[in-house]
Amino acid sequence: MSAKFLICAIVLAGSPLLAAVDDDDDAPPQDPNQPVFILTPETFDQWVFSSVNNSAQAFSEIDSQVKLRIEAIHRVCSLSSSQKLKLQLAADRDIKKFRDQYDQLKSKYQNTKQNPNNLQTVYNAISPLQQQWNAGIIGDSSMLGKVIESTLTDQQWATYQKEQTERNNYRYRAKIKLALAALESSLPLTAEQRDGFEKLLLAETRPPKKFSQFDVQVVLLQAANLPEAKLKNIFDDGQIKSLNQIFQQVKGMEPVLKQQEVLPD
């Protein structure tokens, strides 16, 4: 959810997540026509955990993700008890680090009086926490992600890497299909063109460095960098022109994708 959307939503009258602030002697002077709100704990959690209802549900979801990920590694690698414990301790450190940052920011901002003109500043302060949540607390850049290799034996690591590659490739095929569906909303394709473009993308592009909300953009940005000669084997001149217009818009996302570190190396 964009900051602009959130800010617009917050200033709407009657929002159940925000309470109007009564005037008091200690409050700074305010424009009588300018609404002032309390940033409630519920709103703070909605900003950070846009996909869940509250922090309790969010942290319960993280615990479930840790359990499922360690069990998935165990199914592939047959972990010993000590290996499981090492991975669990690493995940606990990831969760604690995130929880500490969350508690600090929530303590700072919950129930504070906010002028709508200042909400962008508040949102910017919370945004890194939201980005961590969206990227995944136990992703490849987490402590858990980093200790997997050192925890596994060489044979286990080779088996794990093979399984991960197969899983990522399968997942990426699904993202390519999503990208094609998004493309077809602006550029109708024949079944033959759709199949041909899908095969080209599978052969010439790579999965993102990490899967995220930007997966479709990662696919389309790589498509935008393909030689036009390969596209002309699939599309007619009119479609190529329309594609180039779409690709120009996608290329405008490149700085954001680099910042999110999702583009393949």
pLDDT of residue 132: 87
Asked, for residue 229, whether it belongs to a domain, the answer is yes
Verdict on whether the full-model pTM lies above 0.75: no
The pLDDT tens digits for 98-149 are 999 999 999 998 888 877 777 888 888 998 998 888 878 998 889 999 999 9
Same-domain status, 134 and 78: yes
Mean pLDDT, the chain, rounded, equals 86
Residue 26 vs residues 23, 29, 36, 117: alpha-carbon distances, Å: 9, 9, 14, 20
Ranking 52-61, 146-155, 176-185 by mean pLDDT, the lowest is 52-61
The yes-or-no verdict on residue 2 having pLDDT over 50 is no
Domain count for the chain, please give it. Answer: 2
pLDDT of residue 11: 36
Give the span between the Cα atoms of 89 and 224, in whole angstroms.
Answer: 42
Domain of 191?
171-259
Residue 65 structure tokens: 């993700």
Give the span between the Cα atoms of 26 and 22, in whole angstroms.
Answer: 11
| 212 band by pLDDT with thresholds 50, 70 and 90 | confident
Asked, for residue 251, whether it belongs to a domain, the answer is yes
The pLDDT tens digits for 70-89 are 999 999 999 999 999 999 99
| 51 band by pLDDT with thresholds 50, 70 and 90 | confident
Same-domain status, 93 and 175: no
Asked, for residue 264, whether it belongs to a domain, the answer is no
Asked, for residue 133, whether it belongs to a domain, the answer is yes
Q: How many helices (H) and strands (E) does the chain have?
A: 12, 3
Token pair 């999965």: residue: 207
Q: Name the nearest CA neighbour of 111 among 14, 43, 59.
A: 43
DSSP conformation letters of 96-161: HHHHHHHHHHHHHHTTEEE-GGGHHHHHHHHHHHHHHHHH-TTSTTSHHHHHHHHHS-HHHHHHHH
